[in-house]
């Protein structure tokens, strides 16, 4: 995305033009940390379960995770609100310029950070340069690797073969993957809307995490449409964008202490 | 050692051996390449040309193309809808498998001919709604019997058409050449 540098302050102030297209608001005050979004995301996007051994190496694959922090010293420990962390779909993403094969381009049409799996060669440079640590790497073919399959009656049973989402690519070993803001749902909604000859309505569809959230802490929609719920929520007082000072122009707003 | 082999090779018998060896490799390669270009054998030698020449629309048998991602292959009940009224169904040998399948109520195992490459999400509906005719990608079906794939579906083929159909519309060009439109 081309951004006029004159419109940005020293702290990378958000300007209207840099607002992006799709955005998300996460209300940390009503998030209970139940992990329903994490499960829903894994189901929707064919994310692998890595198993105990690889999880021990820190190779877990999550496109969204719940972060927990503590305040104060030991006897007086106080937990801060749960913080769901997912790809912020930065307007100026640090992961993008470092890819040597341009496998993580910026979508000009949807204003998202993409990951093109068949172009990725697995240098993991993007994950190392991501300030939010939200990219995950496929260390193995978890869905076909017979050395990591569960055994039932002596036969290998591969995790959830029958419930892969046909709209999402099943990633192979050696590629990076990340949250796509459920781009398959975006395309499906746009396709349905176009076949009916109308525009996509706010709230017509949502991401898997927002759909699964029992507390409705996650809201997804068009941030450039000022009538939409997500746009109004993101302009509330107390809205925080993480690591804004790095000038990444994140698209996810966190509401806390409201 | 090498000089002895070379001496043997340049005598007439050696040259013939080299020639035969070269021919064997060449013909194997040619056979291999040729076999990838052949249409797969189908359980019924379905003549597309006869059906299209009988002015049956593509979308009559493949209605999914106008509605969703996959065009679909018709079930035998759809074939039978027309064919049970036709005399040729009783007499033709080629149609015997269809008759048998309907009587025993076992599905016909058609072999897919056109495959979308990996890592690509393709939607027929958007292309049909965008005014693309079936033959732009699948070839002229009035001339083929058993379905064959005349077009290699690679990214260049898709992008050429996307850029051409966008024309001067910049917004459309951005949308149609965006990685995320097809790869996710």
pLDDT of A89 higher than 80: yes
Please compute the mean of the pLDDT values over residues B10-14 and round it to a whole number: 87
pLDDT recorded at residue A159: 67
Q: Chain B residues with CB-CB distance to A under 8 A?
A: 118-119, 121, 123, 125-126, 129, 174-175, 178-181, 183-184
Using CB atoms, which residue from A180, A184, A191 is nearest to B126? Answer: A191
Task: Kindly state the tokens that stand for B70.
Answer: 């996959």
The percent of residues in chain B predicted with pLDDT above 90, rounded, is: 36
Contacts of A258 (CB under 8 A, 6+ apart): A27, A29, A236, A237, A238
Domain coordinates in residue numbering, chain B: 2-37
Residue of B116, B154, B179, B182 to mutate when probing chain A, most A C-beta within 10 A: B179
Give backbone dihedrals phi and psi of A162, rounded to 5 degrees, phi first.
-85, -5
Nearest to A207 by CA among A223, A218, A192, A194: A218
A30, with CB counted inside 10 A (0-12, 13-18, 19+), is middle
Please compute the mean of the pLDDT values over residues A121-127 and round it to a whole number: 94
pLDDT of B15 higher than 50: yes
Write down the residue that tokens 């994310």 correspond to: A47
Determine the number of helices (DSSP H) and then strands (DSSP E) in chain B.
13, 0
Ordered structural domains, chain A, with CATH: 5-255 (3.30.70.20)
pLDDT of A15 higher than 60: no
Please write the tens of the pLDDT for every residue from B50-85: 999 999 999 999 999 998 888 888 888 899 999 989
CB contact under 8 A, A169 and B175: no
With cut-offs at 50, 70 and 90, classify the pLDDT of residue A12.
Answer: very low
Predicted ipTM of the assembly = 0.78
Contacts of B130 (CB under 8 A, 6+ apart): B165
Using CB atoms, which residue from B126, B178, B184 is nearest to A108? Answer: B178
Task: Judge contact between B177 and B166, C-beta under 8 A.
Answer: yes
pLDDT of B146 higher than 90: no
Mean pLDDT, rounded, of chain B: 89
Task: Kindly state the tokens that stand for A204.
Answer: 């017509």
Strands A22-27 and A252-255: parallel
pLDDT of A48 higher than 90: no
pLDDT of A6 higher than 50: no
Please compute the mean of the pLDDT values over residues A47-62 and round it to a whole number: 87
Task: Judge contact between A176 and A104, C-beta under 8 A.
Answer: yes
Half-sphere exposure of A127 (CA within 13 A, CB side): 19
Mean pLDDT, rounded, of chain A: 87
pLDDT of A63 higher than 90: yes
Using CB atoms, which residue from B129, B175, B179 is nearest to A116? Answer: B179
pLDDT recorded at residue B68: 87
């Amino acid at each position: 995305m081309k951004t006029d540098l004159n419109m940005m302050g020293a702290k990378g102030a958000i300007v209207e033009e840099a607002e992006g297209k799709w955005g998300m608001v996460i209300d940390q005050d009503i998030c209970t940390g139940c992990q329903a979004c994490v499960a829903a995301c894994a189901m929707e996007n064919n994310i692998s379960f890595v198993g105990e051994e690889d999880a021990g190496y820190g190779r877990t694959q999550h496109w969204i995770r719940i972060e927990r922090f503590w305040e104060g010293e030991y006897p007086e420990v106080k937990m801060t609100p749960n913080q769901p962390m997912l790809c912020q779909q930065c307007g100026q993403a640090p992961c993008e310029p470092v890819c040597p094969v341009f496998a993580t381009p910026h979508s000009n049409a949807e204003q998202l950070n993409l990951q093109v799996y068949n172009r990725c060669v697995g240098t993991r440079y993007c994950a190392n340069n991501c300030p939010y640590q939200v990219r995950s790497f496929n260390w193995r073919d978890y869905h076909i690797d017979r050395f990591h399959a569960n055994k039932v009656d002596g036969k290998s049973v591969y995790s959830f073969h029958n419930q892969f989402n046909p709209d999402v690519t099943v990633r192979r070993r050696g590629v990076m993957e990340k949250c796509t803001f459920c781009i398959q749902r975006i395309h499906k909604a746009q396709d349905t809307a176009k076949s009916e000859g109308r525009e996509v309505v706010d709230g017509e569809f949502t991401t898997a995490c927002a759909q699964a959230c029992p507390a409705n802490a996650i809201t997804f929609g068009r941030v450039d449409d000022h009538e939409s719920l997500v746009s109004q929520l993101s302009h509330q007082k107390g809205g925080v964008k993480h690591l804004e000072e790095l000038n990444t122009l994140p698209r996810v707003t966190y509401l806390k202490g409201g | 050692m090498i000089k002895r082999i070379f001496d043997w090779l340049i005598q007439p018998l050696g040259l013939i051996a080299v020639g035969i060896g070269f021919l064997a490799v060449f013909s194997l390669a040619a056979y291999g390449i040729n076999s990838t270009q052949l249409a797969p054998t189908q359980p019924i030698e379905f003549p597309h040309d006869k059906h299209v020449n009988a002015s049956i629309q593509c979308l009559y048998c493949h209605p999914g193309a106008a509605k969703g991602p996959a065009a679909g292959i018709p079930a035998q009940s759809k074939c039978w809808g027309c064919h049970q009224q036709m005399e040729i169904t009783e007499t033709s040998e080629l149609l015997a498998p269809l008759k048998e399948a309907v009587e025993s109520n076992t599905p016909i195992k058609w072999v897919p001919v056109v495959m979308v490459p990996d890592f690509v999400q393709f939607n027929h509906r958007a292309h049909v709604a965008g005014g693309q005719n079936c033959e732009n990608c699948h070839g002229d079906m009035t001339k083929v019997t058993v379905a064959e794939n005349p077009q290699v579906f690679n990214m260049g083929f898709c992008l050429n058409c996307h850029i051409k159909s966008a024309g001067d519309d910049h917004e459309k060009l951005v949308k149609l050449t965006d990685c995320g439109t097809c790869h996710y």
